[in-house]
Structure 1
Amino acid sequence: MSKTNAKAYWKENIKYVLILLTIWFLVSYGAGILFKDALNNIKMGGFKLGFWFAQQGSIYVFVILIFIYVRLMNKLDKKYGYGE
């Protein structure tokens, strides 16, 4: 792999990480803390939605984002010649 390809690979990798961490931040901090009062007007499974996001929702989103990251990285590896 050339030095140019390596830089492009890491640039895309960092872009993916920043996007996914931003989504997680918005869900965990935004939905669980900042927008809690507005979300608490909605109930999910008998619990207020803001409470649910603060307690469980952000964890579920984080696990989903891990699977999305794995998929993105597999595609990125193939794109730059690191595929199996």
Structure 2
Amino acid sequence: MLWRDRVLFSSLNDPVDVARAQAAMDAAWGKVRDSLKDNANVVQERSRLACIVLGLVGIAEDEVDLARRAVDRFFKMPPESDP
């Protein structure tokens, strides 16, 4: 987990939510990273994914569901549309 992700997830109060977010982020990033174009800004795309994960923590059933939802949203929404 990158320090940027830790800083973003530090806004979560529940340690269980933090752990779920970190696990989901790692799983989702593994799927997203391999599909990025060669000219993609990897740091920016990882930060975008982390913001998506953070926004979905409250509605996901578990870290697997959270990762799935985050990957789906990442690919459905262009970068400028993310919250």
Q: Which TM-score applies when normalising by structure 1?
A: 0.33
Larger helix share, 1 or 2: 1
Decide which structure has the larger Cα Rg and report it. Answer: 1
Higher share in strand: 1
